[in-house]
């Protein structure tokens, strides 16, 4: 494998290594949200790379076993509106709407009575939606449930943003380290680029093959996750 | 008391342009700096008593409006802000069959209709593509102002600062042309626009179940609070939902503006805002 191939390899590996951290963070967020509101369920949707669907990325409570990975169109429904408007909303009698109940039941197997939903905002852009289903009506202090979820969604979004920035920093550090090592092996100055345009093209080809080889070893779910994460990272 | 919440710090005392006042903790009779014997107790009767909204044209920039919803009634137009066919030519506003895939615009329309049953309602859909777009919001707002609507309901905002200068120019243009812009404060402590501009009427929520009860906020940028919690509203599918959020307080203020204009046709936006101020429970209005 070429040095440049190793460089790409390290970036791809860093991307894939991010997935468990990403999953753990999202799962922690939904479990905490569910706890705050003593709710039946909480879930996080993230926008897919094609920006056409919201994908269930983490679920706590009802639907936990089968919802992760399911997709809903981004241009309809409550989650779609929260995504598009970047505003939270509370709906407290969703089960009185037969069409909604049937659609939801068909796709998720669970029909909530109430939904609290807030956007995950990074630099003003919605990257996803957090929902809390069937919270208790217990008073939670001076703030309304909508405000509490909004505050918590902001914290979750900051966590995601930090994780993604950490990944970028790691990838850049690894890449720099690979470049330095490559320079030392070729006898070139560590501070110079050390390659002409022909070598650069060959390195890029080799890198692509290397990256594809690594991605080929992923299962389908890892690949989808990698796309979601990569898309989000490139948007940071 | 009215909350003075500062973004980031939560400090109740600091002030300045960066401060975000985004919620009303507890409505009260706090009087924001006017004489306690202010002679406007019957102002609400004068302002909108007996009004129906007849003759006033209202535009709702939102997710569209469902046609023939029993709580919304007839529409006088349905349009959408869409990307121009020529790449790079920005967004344009075109007529389209009315529809609302989210339900939110239908909810706003139903609230305005409940207050102003004879007003003219027009929908401009600026949400409902792949994602919300600041470009669509700008195009829709520019079109609504150029069409000379009397009242524009904006139960939405953009969190993207790059749209702020153009939005501010449009808000000022509306102010001087006589179009009243009524805009929702964001429900989260984040910066968004156009509700923060002084040329618009900005709205947050209170929790009192009274559709005509409004409060003035002595600590702007949110200037008024209207009922926005546990509100039964029209929704897509010819149904209703019980919802909460500033989105649903905003059309109440827009509806009141519509009523005032239908009785007092020549009032300017700053006069409308002053009437709302004087009619607020914690200013001029008292229980009789």
Give residue-wise pLDDT tens across range A118-163.
999 988 889 999 999 999 988 777 778 998 999 999 999 999 888 8
Instruction: Encode pLDDT of B48-67 as tens digits.
Output: 999 999 999 999 999 999 99
Confidence check: pLDDT of A195 > 60: no
The whole domain housing A129 covers 35-156
CATH code assigned at A132:
3.30.450.40
Query: Is residue A54 one of the residues assigned to a domain?
Result: yes
B71 preceded by a cis bond (ω within 30 of 0) = no
Reported confidence tier of residue B39, pLDDT bands at 50, 70, 90: low
The predicted pLDDT at position A214 comes to 62
| pLDDT (mean) for B25-43 | 57
| pLDDT (mean) for B155-171 | 95
The count of domains in chain A is 1
The predicted pLDDT at position A22 comes to 84
Confidence check: pLDDT of A5 > 70: no
Could you say which of B207, B240, B247 has the minimum Cβ distance to residue A87? B247
Confidence check: pLDDT of A206 > 80: no
Reported confidence tier of residue B155, pLDDT bands at 50, 70, 90: very high
DSSP annotation of B13 reads S
Local structure of A132: helix, strand or coil: strand
Q: Say which range, A86-90, B167-171, B283-287, has the weakest mean pLDDT.
A: B283-287
Instruction: Encode pLDDT of B73-132 as tens digits.
Output: 999 999 999 988 776 778 999 999 999 989 999 999 999 999 999 999 999 999 986 545
Could you say which of B187, B235, B242 has the minimum Cβ distance to residue A88? B187
Query: Is residue A132 one of the residues assigned to a domain?
Result: yes
Rounded CA gap, B10 and A29, in Å? 23
What pTM does this model have?
0.81
Query: Is residue A147 one of the residues assigned to a domain?
Result: yes
pLDDT cut 90: percent of chain B above it: 64
Instruction: Encode pLDDT of B184-197 as tens digits.
Output: 999 888 889 999 99
Query: Is residue A50 one of the residues assigned to a domain?
Result: yes
The token pair at B51 is 């009004």
The predicted pLDDT at position B175 comes to 97
Query: Is residue A76 one of the residues assigned to a domain?
Result: yes
Residue A17: which residues within 8 A CB-CB, separation 6 or more? none
Report chain A residues touching chain B, CB-CB < 8 A. Answer: 47, 51-52, 74-78, 80-81, 83-94, 96-100, 118-119, 121, 124-126, 142-144, 146-147, 150-151, 153-154
Catalogue the long-range contacts made by B1-8 (C-beta closer than 8 Å, 24 or more residues apart): B1/B25, B1/B26, B1/B28, B1/B30, B2/B26, B2/B27, B2/B28, B2/B30, B2/B215, B2/B217, B2/B218, B2/B219, B4/B219, B5/B189, B7/B189, B7/B190, B7/B191
Query: Is residue A191 one of the residues assigned to a domain?
Result: no
- Chain A residues closer than 8 Å to B235 by CB: 97
Which site among B4, B9, B103, B161 would you substitute to test the A interface, given the most A Cβ atoms closer than 10 Å to its Cβ? B103
Reported confidence tier of residue A167, pLDDT bands at 50, 70, 90: confident
- Chain A residues closer than 8 Å to B209 by CB: none
Reported confidence tier of residue B15, pLDDT bands at 50, 70, 90: very low
- Interface size between A and B, measured as CB pairs under 8 A: 123
Rounded CA gap, B236 and B247, in Å? 16
- DSSP characters for B73-132? ---SEEEEEEE-SSTTS-EEEEE----BSSSHHHHHHHHHHHH-TTSEEEEEE-S-SSS-
The predicted pLDDT at position B132 comes to 52
The larger pLDDT score, comparing residue B168 to residue B210, is at B168
The predicted pLDDT at position B130 comes to 54
The predicted pLDDT at position A9 comes to 53
Confidence check: pLDDT of B29 > 70: no
Query: Is residue A171 one of the residues assigned to a domain?
Result: no
| pLDDT (mean) for B275-280 | 90
Alpha-carbon distance values, A41 to A34, A155, B230 (Å): 6, 19, 21
- Cα separation of the two ends of chain B: 22
Reported confidence tier of residue B7, pLDDT bands at 50, 70, 90: very low
- Which helix or strand (DSSP H or E) is residue A203 part of? helix A197-216
**How far does the CA of residue A15 sit from the closest CA of chain B (Å)?**
26
Reported confidence tier of residue A191, pLDDT bands at 50, 70, 90: very low
Query: Is residue A133 one of the residues assigned to a domain?
Result: yes
Confidence check: pLDDT of B25 > 60: no
Contact B188 A90 (CB under 8 A): no
The predicted pLDDT at position A141 comes to 73
Rounded to the nearest integer, the mean pLDDT of chain A is 76
């Amino acid at each position: 494998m070429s040095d440049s191939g190793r460089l790409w390899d390290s970036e791809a590996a860093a991307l894939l290594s991010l997935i468990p951290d990403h999953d753990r963070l999202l799962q922690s967020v939904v479990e905490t949200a569910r706890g705050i509101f003593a709710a039946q369920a909480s879930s996080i949707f993230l926008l897919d790379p094609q920006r056409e669907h919201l994908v269930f990325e983490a679920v706590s409570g009802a639907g936990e076993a089968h919802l992760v990975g399911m997709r809903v169109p981004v241009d309809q429904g409550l989650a779609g509106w929260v995504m598009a408007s970047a505003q939270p909303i509370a709906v407290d009698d969703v089960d009185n709407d037969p069409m909604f109940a049937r659609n939801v039941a068909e796709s998720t197997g669970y029909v909530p009575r109430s939904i609290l939903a807030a956007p995950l905002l990074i630099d003003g852009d919605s990257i996803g939606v957090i929902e809390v289903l069937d919270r208790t009506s217990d008073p939670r202090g001076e703030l309304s449930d909508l405000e509490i979820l909004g505050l918590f969604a902001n914290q979750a979004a900051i966590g995601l943003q930090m994780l993604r920035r950490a990944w970028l920093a790691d990838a850049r550090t690894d890449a720099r380290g690979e470049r330095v090592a490559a320079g030392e092996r070729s006898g070139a100055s560590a501070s110079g680029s050390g390659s002409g345009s022909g070598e650069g093209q060959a390195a890029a080809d080799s890198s692509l093959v290397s990256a594809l080889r690594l991605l080929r070893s992923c299962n389908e779910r890892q690949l989808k996750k990698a796309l979601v994460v990569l898309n989000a990272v490139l948007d940071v | 008391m009215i909350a003075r919440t500062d973004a980031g710090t939560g400090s109740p005392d600091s002030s300045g342009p960066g401060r975000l006042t985004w919620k009303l903790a507890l409505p009260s009779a706090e009087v924001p700096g006017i004489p306690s014997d202010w002679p406007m107790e019957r102002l609400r009767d004068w302002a909108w008593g007996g009004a129906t909204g007849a003759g006033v044209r209202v535009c709702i920039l939102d997710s569209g409006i469902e046609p023939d919803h029993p709580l919304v009634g007839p529409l006088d137009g349905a349009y959408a802000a869409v990307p121009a066919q020529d790449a790079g030519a920005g967004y344009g506003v075109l007529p389209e069959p009315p529809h609302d895939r989210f339900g939110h615009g239908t909810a706003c329309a139903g609230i305005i209709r409940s207050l102003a049953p004879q007003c003219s309602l027009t929908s401009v859909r600026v949400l409902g593509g792949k994602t919300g777009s600041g470009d669509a919001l700008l195009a829709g707002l520019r079109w609504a102002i150029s069409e000379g609507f009397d009242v524009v309901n904006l139960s939405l905002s953009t969190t993207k600062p790059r749209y702020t200068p153009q939005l501010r120019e449009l808000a000022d243009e509306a102010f001087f042309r006589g179009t009243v812009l009524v805009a929702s404060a964001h429900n989260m402590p984040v910066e968004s626009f156009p509700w923060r501009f002084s040329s618009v009427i900005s709205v947050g929520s209170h929790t009192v179940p009274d559709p005509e009860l409004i409060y003035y906020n002595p600590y702007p940028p949110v200037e008024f609070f209207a009922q926005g919690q546990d509100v039964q509203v029209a929704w897509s599918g010819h149904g209703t939902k019980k919802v909460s959020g500033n989105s649903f307080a905003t059309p109440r203020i827009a509806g009141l503006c519509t009523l005032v204009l239908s009785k007092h046709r020549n009032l300017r936006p700053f006069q409308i805002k002053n009437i709302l101020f004087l009619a607020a429970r914690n200013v001029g209005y008292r229980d009789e």
